[in-house]
Structure formats: structure tokens, C-alpha cells
């Protein structure tokens, strides 16, 4: 069975600082990979996804993620954090080649931003 | 935003009563999903559907049933609600369509409290 680990439950960064959120997955092959963001009381918004090809993926709101097969990782990065980025971030995987996208989520990383 | 509407958005019910949550989509997508979100667990798949009358179980399906009689509607039923089913429920749509950019989109969530 596939699994997703987000090692950091809570991260606090200063506004303007760089950010990296970690995500490691366990799966027999290369899965489809996603990052979602959730603001309090809201649904999930897709930041970016990786299906194949270029291992550096650009997303919305200035985020990017890099797929590293050798490390089974898909870390999310942003060069300069804004106060509005404070939210909870979820990494998710889906089995590649399957007939549906049954996502397995990590437990999330809550990001706090200090002005 | 993807055309996903969940109802009700908030509900308080008593233990042992039946509850039905509705997900309505306007995207005519084949795949629909129900997830639940609980603190410290991220999101977990309850059931999913790959077409009208075609459904299957997810990771945490015990105590839940689903139905899909029309492409646009996916119903989640708690036959006899228990306190452990107090959660936030998210509907999602999306999956492999053969089109570039296909992905999963989430609704705004339904907050259910079982007392």
C-alpha cells in the first residue's frame, strides 16, 4: 500500500524567508504526486502536480516542487514567503496508470508566517 | 473553481440517526470521491465512483454507503451516525480523462457533528 510522510507537523517562518516543506512517499513505482493548500475553514486548492517529465514542477502562487526518484521525495519550495501563505499544506500521491485518482494524503504541515 | 457543490455545509445530528450528504458537480466528470478529514490524519478516502451506479470502497468505508444514480450527483450516507463519524467531509471530482492537465478538485466541505 502506498503511504505519504510529511515529517514536519508545524513550521514557522518569517515573511520574506524561503520555505521548504518535505514530503516522502512509499510506492512500488513512480506515482502521480500532488501538493494542496488548505486555508482554515476552506476546501483544498491544488498548488501543483507531477505526472511525468521535467522533475521540477512550477505551480501557482510562486510555489515549485522537485521530484527526486532516488529519495522518493517531492518537496515543496517557495523562495520568499508572504503572510498570506499561512495555511496547511498537504502532499498526496495516486497510483500511476490506475483507472482513477485515489489520493493518499500525508497528515499535513501547518505553516505559520511571522510578519 | 470546479463546479462542485456540497450540501448541507453544516449539520448537527444525534447518534443513531441516518445522515445523507450530497455532492453535486456541473463538470460532467466520470470520477467522484468522498474523503473525510480529521486532525492528525489528513484526508482519507471513504468511497469513490467511476460512473453511474459504479462505486467502490476506499480506506475508511465502514459505516458508510454511497450511491450515484446520475453523473452529477454522488451521495454519502451514514446509516446510523456515531460520534466517531464527526468530521469534515469533502467531495472531489477528477481523474484520468486522457486530457492534459486532468487532476482532482475538491468541494468546500461539509462539517458534520454527531452528538
CB pairs under 8 A between A and B: 59
pLDDT in tens, A31-59: 889 999 999 888 899 999 998 889 999 99
**Residue A20 neighbours by CB under 8 Å, 6+ apart:** A75, A76, A77
Interchain CB contact of A34 with B (< 8 Å): yes
CB contact under 8 A, B42 and A108: yes
CB contact under 8 A, B31 and A101: yes
CA distance B108 to chain A (A): 4
**CA distances, A111 to each of A38, A68, B41, B75, B98 (Å):** 10, 23, 17, 33, 35
Maximum C-alpha span of chain B? 45
Q: How many CB atoms lie within 10 A of CB A79?
A: 11
pLDDT at residue B100 greater than cutoff 50: no
Test mutation, A102, A104, A106, A108, chain B, max B CBs within 10 A: A102
Between the two ends of chain B, the Cα-to-Cα distance in Å is: 33
Interchain CB contact of A46 with B (< 8 Å): yes
**Residue A83 neighbours by CB under 8 Å, 6+ apart:** A15, A113, A115
CA B44 to chain CA mean position, Å? 11
Interchain CB contact of A52 with B (< 8 Å): no
CB contact under 8 A, A106 and B105: no
Please give the mean pLDDT across all residues of chain A. Answer: 92
Identify the three-state secondary structure at position A100: coil
Between the two ends of chain A, the Cα-to-Cα distance in Å is: 41
**Residue B28 neighbours by CB under 8 Å, 6+ apart:** B71, B72
Which residues of chain A are within 8 Å of residue B33 when distances are taken between CB atoms?
100, 102-103
Identify the three-state secondary structure at position A5: strand
CA distance A44 to chain B (A): 6
pLDDT in tens, B40-95: 888 999 999 989 999 999 999 999 999 999 999 999 999 999 999 999 999 999 87
Q: What percent of chain B has pLDDT above 70? A: 92
Which residues of chain A are within 8 Å of residue B40 when distances are taken between CB atoms?
107
Supply angle C-alpha B8, B11, B12, rounded to 5: 165
Q: Are the beta carbons of B26 and B79 closer than 8 angstroms?
A: no
pLDDT in tens, A103-113: 899 999 999 99
Amino acid at each position: 500500500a502506498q503511504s505519504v510522510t510529511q515529517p514536519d507537523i508545524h513550521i514557522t517562518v518569517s515573511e520574506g524567508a524561503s520555505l521548504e516543506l518535505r514530503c516522502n512517499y512509499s510506492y512500488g513505482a513512480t506515482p502521480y504526486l500532488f501538493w494542496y493548500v488548505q486555508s482554515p475553514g476552506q476546501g483544498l486548492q491544488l498548488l501543483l502536480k507531477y505526472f511525468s517529465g521535467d522533475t521540477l514542477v512550477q505551480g501557482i502562487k510562486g510555489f515549485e516542487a522537485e521530484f527526486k526518484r532516488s529519495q522518493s521525495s517531492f518537496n515543496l519550495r517557495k523562495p520568499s514567503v508572504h503572510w498570506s501563505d499561512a495555511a496547511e499544506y498537504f502532499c498526496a500521491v495516486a497510483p500511476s496508470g490506475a483507472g482513477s485518482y485515489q489520493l493518499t494524503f500525508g497528515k499535513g504541515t501547518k505553516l505559520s508566517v511571522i510578519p | 473553481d470546479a463546479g462542485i457543490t456540497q450540501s448541507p455545509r453544516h449539520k448537527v445530528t444525534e447518534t443513531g440517526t441516518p445522515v445523507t450528504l450530497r455532492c453535486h458537480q456541473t463538470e460532467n466528470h466520470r470520477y467522484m470521491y468522498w474523503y473525510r478529514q480529521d486532525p492528525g490524519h489528513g484526508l482519507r478516502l471513504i468511497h469513490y465512483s467511476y460512473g453511474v451506479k459504479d462505486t467502490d470502497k476506499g480506506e475508511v468505508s465502514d459505516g458508510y454507503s454511497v450511491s450515484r444514480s446520475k453523473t452529477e450527483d454522488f451521495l454519502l450516507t451514514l446509516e446510523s451516525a456515531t460520534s466517531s463519524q464527526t468530521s469534515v467531509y469533502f467531495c472531489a471530482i477528477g481523474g484520468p480523462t486522457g486530457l492534459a492537465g486532468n487532476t482532482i478538485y475538491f468541494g468546500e466541505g461539509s462539517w458534520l457533528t454527531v452528538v
